[in-house]
Amino acid sequence: MSHLFERHRAVFERAQLACQQRHCWSPYPEMPSKYPDAAAAQAKGLTAFQAQLGQPFALEQPGARDAVGEEVSPYTQQPLGITYPRADVDTLFEAAEAAMPAWAEAPIATRLGVLLEVLDVIYREHLFEVQQAVMHTAGQSANMAYAGSGVNALDRGIEALVYADQAMRAVAPTARWERSFGPSNIVLDKTYRLVPRGVAVCFACASFPTWNAWPSMLASLATGNAVIVKPHPATVLPMAISVRVFRQVLAAAGFDPNLVTLALDTVAEPIGKVLVKHPKTAIVDFTGSVRFGQWVEANAHPALAYTETAGCNTVVLESADDLDAALRSLATTLCMFSAQMCTSPQNIYVPAQGVRTPAGTVPFDEVAQRLADAVAALTGDPKKAAMILATIQSPQTLALLAQLKEEGARAGRVLLEPRAYTHPEFPGARTSTPLMLQLDTSARELYGEERFGPVSFVIRCADAADALAQATTDARERGGLTAFLYSSDESYIAQAERAYARAGAQLTINLTGAMPLNFAAAYSDYHVTGLNPAGNASLTNLAFVASRFCISQSRRPAPAAAAN
Amino acid sequence: MSHLFERHRAVFERAQLACQQRHCWSPYPEMPSKYPDAAAAQAKGLTAFQAQLGQPFALEQPGARDAVGEEVSPYTQQPLGITYPRADVDTLFEAAEAAMPAWAEAPIATRLGVLLEVLDVIYREHLFEVQQAVMHTAGQSANMAYAGSGVNALDRGIEALVYADQAMRAVAPTARWERSFGPSNIVLDKTYRLVPRGVAVCFACASFPTWNAWPSMLASLATGNAVIVKPHPATVLPMAISVRVFRQVLAAAGFDPNLVTLALDTVAEPIGKVLVKHPKTAIVDFTGSVRFGQWVEANAHPALAYTETAGCNTVVLESADDLDAALRSLATTLCMFSAQMCTSPQNIYVPAQGVRTPAGTVPFDEVAQRLADAVAALTGDPKKAAMILATIQSPQTLALLAQLKEEGARAGRVLLEPRAYTHPEFPGARTSTPLMLQLDTSARELYGEERFGPVSFVIRCADAADALAQATTDARERGGLTAFLYSSDESYIAQAERAYARAGAQLTINLTGAMPLNFAAAYSDYHVTGLNPAGNASLTNLAFVASRFCISQSRRPAPAAAAN
């Protein structure tokens, strides 16, 4: 099977270099238009997706009990009508355990080769089908579904393989060991075996399913484990397509396809806790809500738990050389996919005195208003709004917006009211422009946690020092994945870098222009630090992979001839 | 401070090579007699130890409330009379947190240099003082206290530094990242900071305090954390000496000595749970009892927990080319430090049909008797017994022996009765020769857990396959660190290697001769796999170090000149 590794060796070695140097690289084109024979591929993907609507999803895996399917497209607000086999959980675990020994005993390069082939098959044969699936479950725009949920997620998968390989290669497979004990010379041959932890359960979230799930699955599989994938019931199709590809490629390579299976539930009958507490569960990867994520962290034992939940991502606006450019960048990022990304900013901390600029200090109220105006400008035209805001994944988000608008009006000032906009291609789409509120730090209970969806808070702080202290305290105590700072004061920047490093939020400083502020580059940006409640693991570093396997050794006297 | 690293660079680089190739190496002489100017150094160590008896231990650290000391020498059964400052726990945590930032921001090589200097100072100035301290608390023989608790533990410390360095060096400190977004080119300078998890609590055990504690402390310190050491109240002195050296070397290097402090308790007023559940605890390293270790694993969250507890280490005796040689090696290892090592074998599984040898099959009863005879031969002469058995660390062990003798007589046959022997140098020593019991597998409740002390069980199994199945099942379900196999059947050996690899016990095959079977070599043997209840961590691999720090990044546009 190592011919598969040979097929992908050049890409893998290039990815190793990128991880080491953390520069920009990807084997994939950034934009759908640059995909080979793009129009045909897109048409084929759309056809595959449409053919699936209203049909049972073909997935041959053990233990099927019945069929379930609850997905509703945020673009049409109509059910997709796809049903998936719901399997008996014990059967899935037994099948996963039975599949593991041959997989675990295969050479590292064999496993890597098979997994690189999986990513390549997804890219070559299913990328636009996944794109459509992500659009009509998570509700992302076509471009984001291609980039963030497609090629960037594939990159993150390769990245996980690079680190898994590095951790495994750090273990010598064999050694000869020779020492005298008194007058005797003892020569031992030692063998070090990499033993997988066991069955991993990978939870995928509703709004961005593939982005963490692919690298998590690959980290577990590369190190010899089996994976049971548990998608959010609202967003099954992207993971169902993924699981089917994994199974096909594994089987074609001569391995048991039950190394990867799909465990389904419904909103009414969730099985998350059953999976986490299953006696055969050895690893849990979780992306999703803070509430369930914290339960996973506290209850997964003896299984390992790797979590990414959410937090109140913070912005500190202290001073700016070009305030308009900063506000434009912030506005864009606040709008991107209606702030339904775990990296979207939410809380904007501004000194009460205002923001210093070369043209003088801009008062707090004016900063808040200009930011709201910048957001309004981006979302006023439905065509532009559609590209940037896309849709609202869950109806609950609309309810939350209504509730927060009321609470915010009582506690502070509504800077921008949310409203539905009419999507030019999908008139039935579930949409909303952002809600923006202006508050004081006394309203921390309103902003001191993630409010999932297009909601942001402009927070009046005592002064610049208070803004930084409030922001980093909120990140550290309430969780935060990303952070954004605008300041022209180098000593303030240095202070912020130190404070955010300890708070564990990944900081972007003074970025303006065409790059979305919260863009996270595979091979270069670490996602989640593990230092605050927004998650306990980082994708991808050595810690994310090194505990997924153990080292069992055996040793015995070397053959007499060799020993002398 | 990097002059300290330069001073130790050659040793460190040599240790890196040893860890990579896992061959035999140590910078230290194996035997006390080979220590430079050994006689003078030993005399100086003895003097230092004796001068400490009956005196308060001088340790300047914050928060002292009162003084406690309960140590009793297993060699004299007299109190050592040493009192140690007992500190307020909250004060220790606050001091540890305050000490961390400067330490965490120091370059990796600076931290490594300081820690290598600590090990060197222990070796050059305190090794024989530690030896005496270990003898008169843990009760080890002089040779074991020198080797296992001295130079081998130092080696394990260096090994932990090698892996910590490897994990940290895998993270690029900076990167330049450049990509186009549409027509724009974005150039970012990125900085990746290693951020320690926080305050680590390191529990040291009563019978082998330094062996795991030194590498655990070094793993935490190298990655920027502070460590609070919590020794077993019966064995404080070796860790108190260690902590004092750490503090002196840290202070001399310009760092806050409160990076390493000592937290004491008494048997009557234990503080273990308080330390584990302290809100500032970020890491727990635990070596000790199964019961408390399991509590730590289940309750340490949100702190990371690394545990080594105990298990029923197993022996499978299927066939042997030289049965006498095998039995001699087993007998020696059963006697070594009265089997008070976490690696000591306990359960010996033998087919009911007996053991095949070139001279024919030796019946089960005869094998059991010959093994008991071999143990008796080693322990009959008090001088030889003293060298190998040393003393019994805890009076509770003698009570356990008495209880197990009664229970064993009811459930099976007593092969060897324990009795005190008179230590030639220390007539008041707490001693016992081993208890050996012969049982059937129906008596699993007697042997299916660690029975701490000189106790072993010869277990009659249905046949060779049953012997292997019983042994590996017990290791997997009840825990096991080491395992030992004698077989001349290569296919049986291959089967055993596979079964023990999955059970997670480190296997030694057909070893006879001068090397103690359970000898674990730093840089070469992995200690604990993490795959069974005997512990969740392996000393030392990447997984043991990689989660002790996190990666926080910041990124900002590159200066305009650099960006083009």
Partners of residue B183 in chain A, C-beta under 8 Å: 514
**Whether A525 and B553 lie within 8 Å, measured CB to CB:** yes
Q: Which chain B residue has its CA at the smallest distance from A519's CA?
A: B181
**Whether A181 and B514 lie within 8 Å, measured CB to CB:** yes
d(C-alpha A273, C-alpha A276), whole Å: 5
Which one of B183, B188, B524 has the shortest CB-CB distance to A190? Answer: B524
**Whether B190 and A524 lie within 8 Å, measured CB to CB:** yes
Residue to mutate among B497, B542, B548, with most A CBs inside 10 A, is: B542
Q: H or E segment at B328? A: helix B323-335
Closest alpha carbon to B201 in B280, B313, B109, B283: B283
d(C-alpha B226, C-alpha B282), whole Å: 10
Partners of residue B502 in chain A, C-beta under 8 Å: 195, 552
Which one of B23, B188, B526 has the shortest CB-CB distance to A551? Answer: B526
Closest alpha carbon to B551 in A539, A252, A99, A271: A539
Q: What confidence tens digit (pLDDT) does each residue in B65-76 have?
A: 999 999 999 999
B411 CB contacts (<8 Å, ≥6 apart)?
B437, B439, B442, B443, B446
**Whether B553 and A171 lie within 8 Å, measured CB to CB:** no
Q: Which chain B residue has its CA at the smallest distance from A186's CA?
A: B515
Taking the CA of residue B386 and the nearest CA in chain A, the distance in Å comes to 19
d(C-alpha A147, C-alpha A123), whole Å: 12
pLDDT category at A1 given cuts 50, 70, 90 is low
Task: Write out the two tokens for A338.
Answer: 């209606």
Taking the CA of residue B553 and the nearest CA in chain A, the distance in Å comes to 5
pLDDT at A310: 86
**Whether B515 and A166 lie within 8 Å, measured CB to CB:** no
Closest alpha carbon to A122 in A138, A104, A146, A98: A146
Q: What confidence tens digit (pLDDT) does each residue in B468-494 have?
A: 999 999 999 999 999 999 999 999 999
Closest alpha carbon to B261 in B60, B114, B52: B60
Task: Write out the two tokens for B234.
Answer: 């019966």
Partners of residue A166 in chain B, C-beta under 8 Å: 170
A505 Cβ under 8 Å from any chain B Cβ: yes
pLDDT at A560: 80
Partners of residue A298 in chain B, C-beta under 8 Å: 301
Average pLDDT, integer, range A325-354:
98
B461-465 long-range Cβ contacts below 8 angstroms, 24+ apart: B461/B349, B461/B350, B461/B351, B461/B352, B462/B351, B462/B352, B463/B351, B463/B352, B463/B353, B464/B318, B464/B319, B464/B351, B464/B492
Closest alpha carbon to B110 in B215, B250, B312, B245: B250
Closest alpha carbon to B394 in B341, B322, B340, B335: B340
Q: What is the pTM of this model?
A: 0.97
Residue to mutate among A20, A21, A22, A309, with most B CBs inside 10 A, is: A22
At residue A563, does pLDDT exceed 60?
no
Q: Which chain A residue has its CA at the smallest distance from B31's CA?
A: A182
Of chain A, the percentage scoring pLDDT greater than 90 comes to: 98
**Whether B184 and A526 lie within 8 Å, measured CB to CB:** no
Taking the CA of residue A166 and the nearest CA in chain B, the distance in Å comes to 9
Q: What confidence tens digit (pLDDT) does each residue in B395-412 have?
A: 999 999 999 999 999 999
Q: How far is CA B345 from the centre of its chain?
A: 16
Q: Which chain A residue has its CA at the smallest distance from B553's CA?
A: A506
Give, as one character, the DSSP assignment of residue B336.
G
What are the backbone dihedrals phi and psi of residue B208, each rounded to the nearest 5 degrees, phi first? -145, 65
pLDDT at B2: 73
**Whether B543 and A547 lie within 8 Å, measured CB to CB:** yes
d(C-alpha A471, C-alpha A458), whole Å: 12
d(C-alpha B348, C-alpha B346), whole Å: 7
Residue B508, amino acid:
T
B479 CB contacts (<8 Å, ≥6 apart)?
B290, B309, B310, B311, B312, B449, B450, B532, B533, B534, B535
Partners of residue A542 in chain B, C-beta under 8 Å: 167, 170, 542, 546
Partners of residue B521 in chain A, C-beta under 8 Å: 177, 179
pLDDT at A564: 44
d(C-alpha B384, C-alpha B396), whole Å: 24
ipTM of the predicted assembly exceeds 0.90:
yes
User: B-contacting residues of A 542-561, CB under 8 Å?
Assistant: 542-543, 546-547, 550-557
d(C-alpha B404, C-alpha B338), whole Å: 15
Q: What confidence tens digit (pLDDT) does each residue in A508-517 have?
A: 999 999 999 9
Task: Write out the two tokens for A423.
Answer: 């999507």
B298 Cβ under 8 Å from any chain A Cβ: yes
d(C-alpha A315, C-alpha A420), whole Å: 26
d(C-alpha A34, C-alpha A29), whole Å: 6
Of chain B, the percentage scoring pLDDT greater than 90 comes to: 98
Place of tokens 């590369």: A222
B22 Cβ under 8 Å from any chain A Cβ: yes
Q: Which class for A105: exposed (0-12), middle (13-18), buried (19 or more C-beta within 10 A)?
A: middle
Chains A and B form CB pairs within 8 A to the count of: 217
B399 CB contacts (<8 Å, ≥6 apart)?
none
A25 Cβ under 8 Å from any chain B Cβ: no
Closest alpha carbon to B300 in B272, B321, B271, B334: B272
Task: Write out the two tokens for B376.
Answer: 């008796």
Average pLDDT over all residues of chain B: 97
At residue B305, does pLDDT exceed 70?
yes
Question: Cα torsion at A382, A383, A388, A392 (round to 10°)?
Answer: 50
pLDDT at A561: 59
User: B-contacting residues of A 457-496, CB under 8 Å?
Assistant: 493
Partners of residue B528 in chain A, C-beta under 8 Å: none
Task: Write out the two tokens for B225.
Answer: 């954390």
pLDDT category at B1 given cuts 50, 70, 90 is low
Place of tokens 């240095």: A494
Closest alpha carbon to A555 in A196, A104, A186: A186
Q: What confidence tens digit (pLDDT) does each residue in A362-404 have?
A: 999 999 999 999 999 999 999 999 999 999 999 999 999 999 9
B318 CB contacts (<8 Å, ≥6 apart)?
B351, B355, B356, B464, B467, B468, B485, B486, B487, B489, B492
Average pLDDT, integer, range B323-346:
98
> Any idea how long chain A is?
564
**Whether A179 and B529 lie within 8 Å, measured CB to CB:** no
Q: What confidence tens digit (pLDDT) does each residue in B143-171 have?
A: 999 999 999 999 999 999 999 999 999 99
Place of tokens 């993630």: A450
What are the backbone dihedrals phi and psi of residue A342, each rounded to the nearest 5 degrees, phi first? -65, -15
Contact B405, B424 (CB under 8 A): no
Q: Which chain A residue has its CA at the smallest distance from B188's CA?
A: A511
At residue A124, does pLDDT exceed 60?
yes
CB half-sphere exposure, A444, CA atoms < 13 A: 10
DSSP-derived 3-state class of residue B394: coil
Closest alpha carbon to B380 in B438, B458, B429, B433: B433
DSSP-derived 3-state class of residue B287: strand
Contact A100, A261 (CB under 8 A): no
d(C-alpha A541, C-alpha A554), whole Å: 29
Neighbours of A295 (CB within 10 A): 16
Contact A200, A284 (CB under 8 A): yes
d(C-alpha A63, C-alpha A78), whole Å: 30
d(C-alpha A412, C-alpha A406), whole Å: 10
B195 Cβ under 8 Å from any chain A Cβ: yes
B514 Cβ under 8 Å from any chain A Cβ: yes
At residue B564, does pLDDT exceed 50?
no
**Whether B557 and A190 lie within 8 Å, measured CB to CB:** no
pLDDT category at B117 given cuts 50, 70, 90 is very high
